[in-house]
Chains A and B, each alone.
Chain A
Amino acid sequence: MNKPGVEICTLIIENRECGGRSDQTILEVAEEYGIFIPTLCRLSGLSNIGACRMCLVEVKGSNKLMPACVTKVQEGMEVTVNSPKLAEYRKTVLELLFSERNHICSVCVTNGHCDLQALAQKLGVNHIPMPYIHPHLMVDASHPRFLADHNRCILCTRCVRVCSEVEGAHTWDLMGRGTTVKVITDLKRPWGESESCTGCGKCVQVCPTGALSEKGQAAGEMLKRRQFLPYLSMMREVGR
């Protein structure tokens, strides 16, 4: 059943003995054992990029923190998922994200259904210790059915990945760098004028926040439908 070169490993995650295949990541094995590791840029069914740093874990013998979503398991690995340091860093990641753009939860279409908001609550973020940056960002309402509000974007690139990896349109990508990074459609034209967009709406459904939403929704009304993703991750599993 296994591919050549793939071995079964035993490892310890959060003091529990776990078993996994050497082509699985720490996160995948942890999930199988019901051990919670917070994630944000990751979405099962899409490629993993290790960008948000929420899933950092400590691996015994390594002086670097490892992103659980891309780090493969190894025989004898000892993984710490929760430590005061990791908790502090995860909180700081969320605080930095809230400070970066204008996430005004109370008036957001995904208020109550937002991955960022939910994670902040779960990890005990109750205020943002660094000053808000307050960038001046636009809302793109040019698409007939969808809305892109850059104020809510956390640059996780789920939309970029789903569009290129699943839909095959590659309408979305990132422009600029550092603080000027933004998601764009085509040559940074309004979304509604995009030549490559198929209007499938997958980007909207995978978006963790209110950055991409369906039109006509009031605050708190936008529920994301991700039913198609388990199928994708299953196909991915079969494929490897």
Chain B
Amino acid sequence: MNQDDLANIAAQTKQGDSRYDHVIKVCVAAGCLSANADQVKTQLESEVKQRGLETCCKVKGVGCMGLCAAGPLVAADANEKMFQNVTPADATAILDSVVDNKPAPAAIVMDSQLDFFTQQKKIVLENSGEIDPERIEDYIAADGYEALFHVITKLKPLGVIEQITKSGLRGRGGAGFPTGLKWTTVHKAAGTQKYVICNADEGDPGAFMDRSVLESDPHRVLEGMAIAGYAVGANKGFIYCRAEYPLAVKRLRVAIRQAESSGLLGNNIGDTHFDFKIEIRLGAGAFVCGEETALIASIEGGRGTPRPRPPFPAQSGLWNAPTLINNVETFANIAPIIRRGGEWYASIGTEKSKGTKVFALAGRVNNTGLIEVPMGMTLRDIIFKLGGGIPEGRKFKAVQSGGPSGGCVPEQFLDIPVDYDSLASVGSIMGSGGMIVMDETSCMVDVAKFFMDFCMSESCGKCVPCRVGTTQMHNILERISEGRAETHDLDLLKRLTGMVKEASLCGLGQTAPNPTLTTLRYFMDEYRAHIEEGRCPAGICHPVKAEAEVGV
């Protein structure tokens, strides 16, 4: 395939779609699928056939539209009409509304002008909910693979890296390392064999950005990886994806097959000398494999235990070769940056955090789902404008960002801008983008215990501070929540948090104390209530001041 072929496919696909008066899109990402979206789609198709509308009305499955809480979602006519909580029985009403402009029942009509939709800025998710994720033509029609062709035919590797550096893009996996710098290091590293790895082991509980991107727009990730391969001098890529995401894996497999048979992956891409192949490797349920050296150990077929860095994977990674590791969302940003230029990307966001960020909003918030907003939007806007606030008029208590590595941010900081540095300044982290909202029904001791339990059982067990430290911290938190703790347990807890943070081998252990530290800092009154009064203010724990155990 060459650039002309690509343009032809794009033109044909666009023309094909424009034949229809109405395109009805049904979300077939995992969230809506679990609410019977596939049956909705089948019903719509047969209804269209019954009414003989095949020539003017097209039903297509698309990726995630974002508002998972209201799924299954259906949209038509460039999203002017949107429907929520749809069942197969609603197919008639939807067609009546779309084709005949009859008002649909209020229960399924969704306001497409909700802040949730209008306040977003979509770059990573620009195709999500728009294109059919299982058709490469759809992606190509949305300017897909244009950036890859531009790069391999017109730019030198350093020219690519220059754009990425200019864009100010920082790693979206959590730590926020400058992407351009990482690419430069791998580019400069000596070695004939290099690798590109896409980290799709989205292990943070409460985060589903990567899953959604892979399910909704898999080619975008492949294109980003291929561009990276060209820039750093690698001809082989691996996607390390969670086995818990079967749909994402399936769509990636389809996408790779399509890209290979279209000559967009494989040897001599675009009739150039650039070769790039991608293989999928399945994770097997180990959070620690999100850590890059552990991920590498896992791809090499071993136990996913991290090793000390340096050497960094950029110098010595997979099979000791220089290896570039970025996460799904980072790769998903690459093609748009190349298409529109690094400066365009850098114009979005804040001074030190450029571009947009995808967040998974979940927990006690009305509009749970996926959003993409410019960096620097305040937490308050995200939770109360886009998120629609807290259900049932309850009071906001905290928002947890960054999963087990992040912290709980209380109400007093709701007006901080969401960027890497601001979140760090209040003890949390950006993380991969999970945002769990909690209201007064959540107990912060219980939340701290929940995350510590997570870290304890996900610790690989290699280094002592993480293996035993998280266990001891978990035991203390358990004692507090059960009302068996004494005040001196808090001192021990504080002592361990500092030590585990600084002495652990990898990021898992180094960040494991964060949820505990932030809850200790902002919700000490709740800890005291458990320890001193044997009371859980939220009514979640059942602390029993157990003199009985003492027996005298």
Contacts and interface: CB of A to CB of B under 8 A. Distances in A.
B154 to A, nearest CB: 36
A51 B471 contact: no
B458 to A, nearest CB: 7
B191 to A, nearest CB: 14
A88 B286 contact: no
A96 interface: yes
B56 interface: no
Contact of B504 (A53, A100, A180): A53
B35 interface: no
Contact of A177 (B286, B492, B499): B286
Interface in B433-469: 456-465, 467-469
B475 interface: yes
Nearest to B288: A177
A155 interface: yes
Contacts of B307: 49-50
Nearest to B471: A179
Interface string A24-65: 000000000000000000000000011111001000000011
A53 B461 contact: no
Contacts of B492: 129-130
Contacts of A96: 464-465, 468-469, 472
A96 B474 CA distance: 13
A155 B464 CA distance: 9
Contacts of A65: 502-503
A96 to B, nearest CB: 4
Nearest to B458: A178
Nearest to A130: B472
Interface in A87-120: 88-89, 92-93, 96-97, 99-100
A14 B495 CA distance: 26
A169 interface: no
A89 B460 CA distance: 20
Contacts of B463: 50-53
B457 A178 contact: yes
A89 B499 contact: yes
A181 interface: yes
Nearest to A129: B492
A97 B464 contact: yes
Main SS of chain B's interface residues?
helix
Interface string B398-411: 00000000000000
Contacts of A93: 464-465, 503
Interface in B457-495: 457-465, 467-472, 475, 492, 495
B505 interface: yes
A123 interface: no
Nearest to B470: A178
A56 B461 contact: no
Contacts, number: 97
B461 A180 contact: yes
B499 A88 contact: yes
B475 A131 contact: yes
A70 interface: yes
Contacts of A64: 502
A12 to B, nearest CB: 20
A178 B459 contact: yes
Nearest to B459: A178
A49 B462 contact: yes
B471 A133 contact: yes
Nearest to A176: B461
B11 to A, nearest CB: 53
A94 to B, nearest CB: 9
A11 B463 CA distance: 28
A185 B307 CA distance: 23
A208 interface: no
Contacts of B471: 100, 133, 178-179
B464 A53 contact: yes
B416 interface: no
A197 to B, nearest CB: 21
A53 B468 contact: no
Contacts of B464: 51-53, 93, 96-97, 154
A100 B459 CA distance: 15
B505 A53 contact: yes
A154 B457 CA distance: 18
B52 interface: no
Contact of A97 (B310, B468, B470, B504): B468
Contacts of A67: 308, 505
B340 interface: no
Interface string B358-401: 00000000000000000000000000000000000000000000
Nearest to A156: B464
A40 B544 CA distance: 41
B454 to A, nearest CB: 11
Contact of B467 (A49, A70, A155): A155
Given A53-B503, A56-B503, A180-B461, A92 B495 contact: yes
B99 interface: no
Given A178-B456, A180-B461, A99 B468 contact: yes
B496 interface: yes
Nearest to B304: A177
A133 B467 CA distance: 13
B303 interface: yes
B306 to A, nearest CB: 10
Contacts of A174: 303, 461
Nearest to A65: B502
Contacts of B308: 49-50, 67, 70-71
Contacts of A88: 499
B465 A53 contact: yes
Contacts of B465: 53, 89, 92-93, 96
Choose among A70, A131, A178 the residue with the greatest number of B CB atoms under 10 Å from its CB.
A178
Contacts of B469: 92, 96
B460 A178 contact: yes
A179 B495 contact: no
Contact of B461 (A49, A131, A178): A178
B503 A177 contact: no
Nearest to B495: A92
B459 A177 contact: yes
B433 to A, nearest CB: 25
A53 B499 CA distance: 11
A71 B312 CA distance: 12
A227 B525 CA distance: 58
A50 B310 CA distance: 12
Most buried by B among A50, A67, A100, A130: A130
Contacts of B461: 155, 174, 176-181
Q: Which 9 interchain pairs have the tightest Cβ spacing?
A: A181-B461, A96-B468, A50-B308, A178-B459, A100-B468, A92-B499, A89-B503, A178-B461, A53-B503
Given A50-B308, A93-B464, A130-B492, 6 more contacts: A50-B307, A51-B464, A52-B463, A85-B502, A92-B496, A96-B468
7 contacts: A50-B463, A51-B505, A96-B469, A131-B475, A155-B467, A178-B459, A178-B460
Interface of B: 286, 288, 303, 307-308, 310, 456-465, 467-472, 475, 492, 495-496, 499, 502-505
